[in-house]
Amino acid sequence: MDAADNPKRSRMLVTQFKQSQIYRDFAQAFRDATGLPLSLRPVESFDLHHANDPRQNPFCALMAKSNHSCSACLQLQREVEQQAQREPATLKCFAGLYDSAVPIRVGENVLAFLQTGQVFFQKPLPGQFDRVARQLAKWGVEIDIKPVAAAYHQSRVVPKKQYDAILRLLAVFAQHLAAISNRLMVQEEHAESPVITRARNFIHEHQDDDLTLAQVAHSVNTSAFYFCKMFKKSTGMTFTDYLARVRVEKVKNLLLNPHKRVSEAAFEAGFQSLSQFNRVFRKLEGCSPTNYRNQLHPMIPAR
């Protein structure tokens, strides 16, 4: 099952992303360069996205303490993620601040979101906070108005042209995370039963054969039915999905050779037909095998 259809799998993948050195380095550089918060969130996450971020807007942090204003923030968060299924989306909250989500996609599937924002595009107009205060009063939010007003007016102002460039930067990084997601999915990053470990090893050793579920189950001395359930529970993927990802990773490695034909790589990796291979590769990588090869070797004619 793909991450977009499996929130649990998406959360596991986000955890792996966050533990990677490349994400930690990028997040720190992004915050230092822009002064903005950055969150990496799984699909269908229901907590406030920039909570505890060192660059969180102080006004937004105060709003998070109230149930009504917190609910409004969560609603905005859901809406911006719904609009960011195919490309970055930006929405304005009740207080006039902008928030954005950038999807991390593989093919038709959204794996997670990069989110930033809590900014104005221009300095708040006189009286703008008064409208915010009235809305908070309607919600019955009890606040100390002076520190809230001070925090509001200290919010970052980022010109829209500059903000759009920041989102393009995040979109480029999202593409990179998508590119390494398949590799993460087939890595053994956590403790698992010896049976699953042996099964993974057997799959990797025989991935270029016409491998079946029954053969893998037999290699670890279990029934096919029991192995199928145990493997899905441990990896979050069916045997078929896992094998496809392993084979696609081998194809990608083989295509590092600029003289390797796409069809040769496909059959060497264990795919039994080019139509199946093309369908699986496009689903996992978001592009055709030929386009992927051309991106690796733009000066060499496709073969």
Final residue belonging to a domain, choices 162, 185, 208: 185
Mean pLDDT rounded to a whole number for the chain: 86
Question: Structure pTM?
Answer: 0.65
**Together in a domain, 145 and 53:** yes
State the pLDDT at residue 149: 93
**pLDDT tens string 251-264:** 988 888 888 899 99
**Together in a domain, 117 and 78:** yes
Per-10-residue mean pLDDT of the chain, 303 residues long, equals: 57 83 92 94 78 88 79 85 92 94 85 94 92 89 87 95 96 89 62 81 88 92 90 84 90 86 92 91 85 72 54
**pLDDT tens string 54-79:** 899 999 988 887 777 777 888 888 89
Residue 81 lies in a domain: yes
* Distance (Å, whole) CA 216 – CA 30: 45
**Cα–Cα distance list, 140 to 69, 135, 225 (Å):** 10, 9, 57
State the pLDDT at residue 298: 63
State the pLDDT at residue 104: 92
**Together in a domain, 227 and 154:** no
Percentage of the chain surpassing pLDDT 70?
A: 91
**Together in a domain, 201 and 177:** no
| Number of domains observed in the structure of the chain | 2
* Distance (Å, whole) CA 101 – CA 117: 9
**pLDDT tens string 124-141:** 998 899 999 999 888 888
**Together in a domain, 121 and 56:** yes
**Together in a domain, 128 and 273:** no
**Together in a domain, 243 and 96:** no
Q: Domain range for residue 152?
A: 3-185
Buried b or exposed e, range 57-73, using 16+ CB within 10 angstroms: bebbbbbbebeebbebb
- Candidates 290, 270, 107; CA nearest to 182 is 107
**Together in a domain, 87 and 169:** yes
User: DSSP labels for 61-98?
Assistant: HHHTTSHHHHHHHHHHHHHHHHHTSSS-EEEE-TTS-E
Q: What is the CATH number of the domain that holds 94?
A: 3.30.450
State the pLDDT at residue 158: 96
